[in-house]
């Protein structure tokens, strides 16, 4: 079914109305997260209870930092959810008063020891949207220069340089599996390929 972006209120033509929220209740709270239960009534009359993970909703950034046109910086950090070290892209929360460009540059300095003269937004990604309201702004950083800021990591991060065209090989590794990082890198790779193709056509 194709999407018709003609909207009537909150309803897109061809799509049902959004469920009515009958009740909202906080059921758990931690230092970083809270869990809410939502009692919903759908447009067909069905009622269900959903649980979702919420937080400060400050926003977050993920950075594709390229020291040259062929390579990208990845970090190895401890992932408590897997109780193991994983290879991923540098990322972090947007601090109060920051825009996403400033946040991305700060996180890059903290995680990798580099700043970037050029940072551009690339894409927005979500994670498990059925269960959490989390959006990650992915940005591409180029024209890097050495600059380190102290971060809040419990131990120094290991920074690795990988060729962006070697994504299939990275996917074969057991420590490289974060979906947002994989999606971000493929989007960046395709963007770079298109720019290179257009550059070649301009020379014709």
Q: Can you give the pLDDT of all 204 residues of the chain as single tens digits? A: 344 444 445 555 667 789 999 999 999 988 878 899 999 999 999 999 999 988 767 789 999 999 999 999 999 999 999 999 999 999 999 999 999 999 999 999 999 999 999 999 999 999 888 888 889 999 999 999 999 999 888 999 999 999 999 999 999 999 999 999 999 999 999 999 999 888 776 655
Helix ranges (H only) for the chain are 100-112, 167-171, 179-202
For residue 166, give both structure tokens: 């070697």
Domains of the chain from N-terminus onward = 7-54 (no CATH), 60-202 (3.90.79.10)
Alpha-carbon distance 85 to 80, whole Å? 8
Where is 48: in which H helix or E strand? strand 47-54
């Amino acid at each position: 079914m194709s999407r018709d972006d003609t909207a009537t209120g909150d309803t897109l033509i061809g799509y049902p109305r959004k469920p009515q929220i009958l009740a909202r209740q906080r059921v758990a709270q931690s230092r970083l997260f809270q869990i809410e239960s939502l009692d919903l009534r759908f447009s067909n009359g069905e009622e269900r209870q959903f649980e979702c993970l919420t937080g400060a909703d400050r926003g977050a950034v993920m950075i594709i930092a390229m020291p040259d046109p062929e390579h990208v910086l990845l970090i190895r950090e401890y992932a408590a959810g897997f109780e193991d070290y994983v290879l991923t892209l540098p990322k972090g929360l947007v601090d109060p008063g920051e825009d996403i460009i400033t946040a991305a540059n700060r996180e890059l300095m903290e995680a990798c020891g580099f700043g970037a003269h050029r940072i551009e937004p690339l894409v927005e990604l979500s994670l498990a949207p059925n269960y959490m309201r989390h959006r990650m702004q992915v940005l591409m950083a180029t024209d890097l220069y050495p600059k380190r800021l102290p971060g809040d990591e419990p131990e120094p991060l290991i920074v690795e340089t990988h060729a962006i065209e070697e994504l299939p090989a990275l996917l074969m590794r057991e420590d490289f599996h974060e979906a947002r990082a994989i999606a971000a890198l493929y989007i960046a790779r395709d963007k770079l390929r298109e720019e290179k193709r257009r550059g070649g056509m301009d020379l014709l």
